[in-house]
Amino acid sequence: MDAWIPITILAAVAQTARFGLQKQLKSTRLSTGGATFARFIYSSPLVVLGVLIYANITAQTLPSIPTLFWAYALVGGMAQILATMCVVALFEHRNFAVGITFKKTETLMAVFVGLLILGEGVTWLGFGAILIGLVGVLLLSDRPGPSADPWHKRIVNRVAGLGLASGLLFACSGVGYRGASLSLDTGDVFLRATLTLACVTTAQTIAMAIWLRLFERGEITRVLSTWRVSGLVGITSMIGSTCWFVAFTLQTVAYVKALGQIELLFSLALTMFFFKEKISRREIQGGGLLVVSVLVLVMVT
């Protein structure tokens, strides 16, 4: 089994836990911006420390950082901030599993963004499997309400818009991170991936702190006051992000994102057993198609 496969699965587990904790923060204490900031402020110092320790233990010198690295990394970091805010905002409209599933449009988006930016494509079988997943997403985009509503009102709505926006932005962030990591000339895969992560999370922490200070006064204090839960958000974010960055360095973003859809199974479990939310037949059908998509992609890659 290629190393990127178990690494991606671990990333999906950690990310599901993080979104679950962020849902708790959003629903009980913090604004969308505050819940998003929580993942950066507590994870960035840990990531930076981890890079320094790893480089020292393995006797590696930190690679020099070219200008192209910053172009990829900063664009990817900003896209991730906006995408995370879209996902957190989704929790106000639909249940946890559906919010996460809308985010999965990033897999299809990553195919086109990766091809456009890095010139990396996928096989036709892989693309077909991704389209199966998209059908599942469209099934899940049907908002609650009378079935007699016109189809465009059931498919084109705020929830679907937030989901599609988060998907595109997460695709851009993943491709940006892969481009940044590949631009480094020295160091092993783990060092290049974690150094990229350290630079990105530090920049994200600074950007979010400035935003909250200017537009949401007092929110930073509230984030710090919820350190018990916010700290767990930071730890799960660090674990998940490290795994994502390593996987992006090893494999094309579209395939990593596609396998990452296994996260759906974990989010469904959280929805039913932790948040005690009901899953409709349509949601089960859409989720089933996404699971089929994941299985096919694993087989063809």
Please tell me the predicted confidence (pLDDT) of residue 37.
85
d(CA 244, CA 9): 9
Specify the number of domains making up the chain: 1
The whole-number average pLDDT for the span 272-293 is 74
Q: Are the beta carbons of 252 and 120 closer than 8 angstroms?
A: yes
Please tell me the predicted confidence (pLDDT) of residue 148.
45
- What is the pLDDT confidence band of residue 292, given thresholds at 50, 70 and 90? confident
pLDDT tens string 203-258: 989 999 999 999 998 889 988 887 777 788 778 888 888 999 999 999 999 888 88
Average pLDDT along the chain: 81
pLDDT tens string 118-150: 998 888 888 888 788 777 766 765 555 544 455
The whole-number average pLDDT for the span 27-39 is 74
Q: Are the beta carbons of 63 and 184 closer than 8 angstroms?
A: yes
Kindly tell me if the per-residue pLDDT of 91 is higher than 60: yes
Please tell me the predicted confidence (pLDDT) of residue 99.
60
What is the domain extent for residue 80? 4-58+65-300
Kindly tell me if the per-residue pLDDT of 95 is higher than 70: no
d(CA 196, CA 106): 21
- What is the pLDDT confidence band of residue 169, given thresholds at 50, 70 and 90? very high
Please tell me the predicted confidence (pLDDT) of residue 289.
81
Segment among 22-36, 47-61, 68-82, 256-270 with least mean pLDDT: 22-36
Return left, alpha or beta for 145; rule: phi > 0 is left, psi -120 to 50 is alpha, else beta: left
- What is the pLDDT confidence band of residue 12, given thresholds at 50, 70 and 90? confident
As given in the structure block, the two tokens for residue 200 are 């990105």
- What is the pLDDT confidence band of residue 183, given thresholds at 50, 70 and 90? very high
Kindly tell me if the per-residue pLDDT of 96 is higher than 70: no
Segment among 3-12, 88-97, 270-279 with least mean pLDDT: 88-97
d(CA 78, CA 92): 23
